[in-house]
Amino acid sequence: MNLRQYEYALAVADEGSMTAAAERLHVTQPSLSQQIGALEKHLGVRLFTRTPNGVTVTVAGRAFLAEAKIATTASRRAVTAARAAEGELAGELIMAVHMGLGARQLPQVMGELRQRHPKLQVTLHEETDLADMER
């Protein structure tokens, strides 16, 4: 059992279809099905019920997927934390800025941030209302 299998199971649940999940993950459908089967065998439970229209998540699957989501998120955070400790920031930074404040400084600062941390994805939300900015 490995995190890749967790990610596969999460994609199957999200897509509701082995074929659609395989396309999203850029793997072949038989390979994905084999990995899901191996995961189910290891767990000793069925995670999905196969239907003519795709798959549905079983009760055991819902319980497993809730924890799998936590595990995969924690794994990504661990990688990000290790890289950040070495000065490399990666991931997503979402910022709210007040309209007009820092209009002259922001482009320069954002350019420097992009150069220092090219793997950091930055999303800016420009807000006119301070209450919206707090939210």
Q: If 0-12 CB within 10 Å is exposed, 13-18 middle and 19+ buried, where does residue 61 land?
A: buried
Q: Is 64 helix (H, G, I), strand (E, B) or coil?
A: helix
Q: Per residue of the chain (135 residues), what is the pLDDT tens digit? A: 899 999 999 999 999 999 999 999 999 999 999 999 999 999 999 999 999 999 999 999 999 999 999 999 999 889 878 877 777 777 788 887 776 666 677 888 888 888 888 888 888 877 777 676 666
Alpha helices in the chain (DSSP H): 3-15, 18-25, 29-43, 59-85, 106-116, 130-134
The 8 Å CB, 24+ separation contacts for 101-104 are none
Model-level pTM greater than 0.75? no
Q: What is the pLDDT of residue 134?
A: 67
